[in-house]
Structure 1
Amino acid sequence: MFEQFSSGYYLGRLYVEPYGGERAVINRDHHERVAEQLYETDDEPLVMKIGSTHVAVHGAEDVPGRTVALPESALSATGTDNPPTLREVFLAKADRARQLLEFDPGGPAGF
């Protein structure tokens, strides 16, 4: 789903679509698998960069595979104008994700 991109990120392509929940989510099984492989834990959110916005992404049962579902505030913050759309998504590596998760979660994308 993701490949090596830089010292801080992996690169993937996911469908970005609206979500009625309060936080960004991907399929729970995918979240657990990626988090365990890349972060060595599955209890923290994944950190994805979509457009110019970092988003804390959790797992949910009701999301199809290869899809990141965003609440309206995060959707507009990422510059996704006409969802669902296939977008390049950068997944922060563990060290970078920890740095980003230290920010205030009150923003539109969870930071």
Structure 2
Amino acid sequence: MFEVFSTGYYLGRLYVEPSDDGTAALQRRQHERVNEQVYAGEGLARTDYPLVMKVGTRHYRVEGDADVPANTLVVPRETLDEAGVDNPPALAEVLLARPDHARRLFEVGAV
């Protein structure tokens, strides 16, 4: 789903859709699988930690949600402009923060 892009991110493509509940989410099973693949080597056993994803200029704290369709990232409707999503649902490049970068983004309050 994601491939190495840079020292800070993996790159993938997901459909981006608006959410009216103010949260960003990925389908729960995909969220767990990505969590295992990306963070398992970092000594984390849990797969429910939030992922950090970036669409356009906006970073999101992404949770797992069973109601989200596969291969879809839902983001708060009010952030669609920052994400560069004009006509959702739209297939978009999504950056997934690598563990060290995600940690830094949490520490500085970017997500």
TM range (shorter): 0.7 to 0.9
Aligned to 1:39: 39
Q: Which moved more, 1:71-80 or 1:2-11?
A: 71-80
Distance 2:32 2:57 in 1: 25
5+ residue gaps, structure 1? 106-110
Q: TM-score, normalised by structure 2?
A: 0.87
SS at 1:76's partner residue?
helix
1:65 equivalenced with 2:70 (yes/no): yes
CA deviation profile, 1:24-74 (whole Å, cap 9, x unmatched): 001000001101210224232111110011111110011111100111123
The percent of aligned pairs where both chains have the same amino acid is: 53
Distance 2:82 2:47 in 1: 26
Distance 1:58 1:26 in 2: 6
5+ residue gaps, structure 2? 41-45
Aligned to 1:49: 54
Aligned to 1:8: 8
Distance 1:94 1:15 in 2: 23
Q: TM-score, normalised by structure 1?
A: 0.87
2:48–2:64 contact (8 Å) kept in structure 1: no
Q: Match for 2:96: what amino acid?
A: L
2:21–2:76 contact (8 Å) kept in structure 1: yes
- How many equivalent residue pairs? 106
> More helix by proportion, 1 or 2?
2
